[in-house]
Amino acid sequence: MKTVYKSEIKNPKELQILEFLSARGACLYGNIFKELAISSIEGQQIIFSLLSKGLIKYQYRSSNIELNVELK
């Protein structure tokens, strides 16, 4: 598993989601936004960005999202 350092993440909302997933493990897509008080539109944009960078992934065939990297 690739290691990503927090200092490499420039977008504070992306870092917030990565830290949340690091602490909680896999979480339902919508619950991430709810727990972090992020609007669904903004949240979807951030999730898409993190997915396209390979930092997160969907867990199996579900709506659960999990880290795809080790966050340090």
Reported as a single tens digit per residue, the pLDDT across 39-56 is 999 999 999 999 999 999
Domain membership of residue 6 (yes or no) is no
CB proximity list for 37: less than 8 A, separation 6 or greater: none
pLDDT at 19: 97
* pLDDT value of residue 1: 82
Is 4 a member of any domain? no
67 part of a folded domain: yes
- For residues 21-36, give the mean pLDDT: 92
- Examine residue 1 and state whether it is found in any structural domain, yes or no: no
Per the structure, how many domains does the chain have?
1
Asked if residue 54 is part of any domain, the answer here is yes
Q: Which of 24, 37, 36 is nearest to 64 (CA)?
A: 24
Read off the pLDDT of residues 1-25 as tens digits, 9 standing for 90 and up. 899 999 999 999 999 999 999 999 9
Domain range for 33 is 11-71
pLDDT, residue 63, reads 83
- Tell me the CATH number at 26: 1.10.10.10
Give CA–CA dist 68/72, Å, rounded.
Answer: 13
Distance CA 35, CA 9 (A): 20
Does the reported pTM lie above 0.95? no
